[in-house]
Amino acid sequence: MMSACLLGLDERHLVPLAEPGHRLQAEARAAFEALQAAAAGAGFHLAPASSFRGFDRQLAIWNGKFEGQRPLLDAHSRPLDALTLSEPERIHAILRWSALPGTSRHHWGTDLDVYDPTLLPSGGKLQLEPWEYETGGYFHPLSQWLNANMGRFGFYLPYAVASGVGAEPWHLSYRPLAQHCERQLTPALVAEALAARPISGKTHILNMLDEIFARYIYH
Of 131, 62, 74, the closest CA to residue 103 belongs to 62
- How many helices, marked H, and strands, marked E, lie in the chain? 8, 8
Q: Is the dihedral of CA 204, 211, 189, 28 positive or negative?
A: negative
User: Of all helices (H) and strands (E), which one includes residue 24?
Assistant: strand 23-24
Q: What is the pLDDT of residue 167?
A: 87
Answer whether residue 24 shows pLDDT above 90: yes
Answer whether residue 163 shows pLDDT above 80: no
Q: What is the pLDDT of residues 40-85, one digit of tens each?
A: 999 999 999 999 999 999 999 999 999 999 999 998 889 999 999 9
In order of start, what are the domains of the chain with their CATH numbers?
3-217 (3.30.1380.10)
As a whole number of angstroms, the distance between CA 147 and CA 145 comes to 5
Which residues partner with 174 through β-bridges? Answer: 155
Q: What is the pLDDT of residue 162?
A: 63
Answer whether residue 218 shows pLDDT above 80: yes
Q: What is the pLDDT of residues 87-144, one digit of tens each?
A: 999 999 999 989 999 999 999 999 999 999 999 999 999 999 999 999 999 999 999 9
The type of residue at 213 is F
Answer whether residue 210 shows pLDDT above 90: yes
**Which pTM does this prediction carry?**
0.93
Q: What is the pLDDT of residues 37-49, one digit of tens each?
A: 999 999 999 999 9
